[in-house]
Amino acid sequence: MTNPGAAESRAFSAGKRSRARKANGNRVARPAPLREVVHDAILEMIIDRTLRPGQHLAEGELAAELGVSRQPVREALQRLQTEGWIDLEPAQGAFVHTPTEQETVQLLSVRVLLETHAAELAAAPPSEADTARLWELQRAGEAAVAADDRGAMVKANAELHAFITELSGNAVLQELIGIVNRRVQWLYTSVARQRSKDAWAEHAELIEAITGGKPDRARELMHAHITRTAEAIRTGPDTAH
């Protein structure tokens, strides 16, 4: 014979578990730890050249700039050193890493391999909606050039290349390109103005090839485009902030 009390107890327990699951599902995500926020803020300042290669990084100044204590800044700098963005020198402190010529050549050679393949795959050709998005990104880049807005140029360039990678449909390729993209963006910032008009004219040709369903042509154009940017980075970065 069923015990009514036991049945009620099981029902109550089940109700509690159900309510707990619902409550967990509706919880607001907790904000990122302060050390993560500080890490990301300093990294963005490095990438956009607010903090330039070779610049000394004083914990106190960074803490005051970001409105935090020194501890999360110290933790962020240690992580950035591990990731290769800064160098920690004994008795001297932290400095923004200055990429060597070898590092630059290695990074850009990998980028050529990955992004030329992405361009080839993207020329499926894309759908009408994706085609419209490519030209929308192209117009954003051209507007940034017209306004001489280096930050907007870098952003538009990164977004266009990222979208072409997305159109490749290759998840592994997207992941690999994502690994190198932030360092590429860091290097590209130094030549964004120098390459501005030529780069976006090259982008327009590339989009024509992709949307026209010409994979070999898209691969060829992407290779030439990245090679020219790599040469500009190696030989004559912008000196303007």
CB atoms near residue 63 (< 10 Å): 17
pLDDT of residue 156: 94
Residues 105 and 65 occupy one common structural domain: no
pLDDT digits (tens, 9 = 90+) for 146-193: 999 998 999 999 999 999 999 999 999 999 998 898 898 898 888 888
Nearest 5°: the CA angle 108, 109, 115 is: 80
Residue range 207-229: average pLDDT? 97
Using DSSP bridges, classify how beta strands 93-96 and 56-57 pair: parallel, antiparallel or unpaired: antiparallel
Residues 108 and 222 occupy one common structural domain: yes
pLDDT digits (tens, 9 = 90+) for 92-112: 999 999 988 888 889 999 999
Which domain CATH number covers 53?
1.10.10.10
Residues 92 and 107 occupy one common structural domain: no
pLDDT of residue 126: 95
Residues 88 and 136 occupy one common structural domain: no
- Distance (Å) of CA 125 to CA 118, 121, 226: 13, 9, 21
Residues 81 and 107 occupy one common structural domain: no
Residues 115 and 204 occupy one common structural domain: yes
pLDDT of residue 35: 87
Q: Where residue 5 falls among pLDDT bands split at 50, 70, 90?
A: very low
Contacts of 59 (CB under 8 A, 6+ apart): 70, 73, 74, 77, 93, 94
CA distance 104 to 184: 9
Domain span at residue 74? Answer: 34-96
Bridge partners, 88 (sequence order): 94
Within a domain: 177: yes
Residues 122 and 210 occupy one common structural domain: yes
Which domain CATH number covers 198?
1.20.120.530
Residues 205 and 172 occupy one common structural domain: yes
CA distance 172 to 112: 16
Domain finish residue from 80, 96, 112: 96
Is the pLDDT reported for residue 215 higher than 70?
A: yes
Residue 130 and residue 164 in contact, taking contact as beta carbons nearer than 8 Å: no
Three-class SS state of 84:
coil
pLDDT of residue 220: 98
CA distance 69 to 159: 34
Residue range 106-127: average pLDDT? 95
Q: Where residue 237 falls among pLDDT bands split at 50, 70, 90?
A: low
pLDDT digits (tens, 9 = 90+) for 18-73: 444 444 555 545 577 888 999 999 999 999 899 999 999 999 999 999 999 999 99
Packing angle of the helix pair 128-146, 150-167 (nearest 10 deg) = 160
Residue range 121-131: average pLDDT? 96
Q: What are phi and psi of 34, to 5 degrees?
A: -55, -40
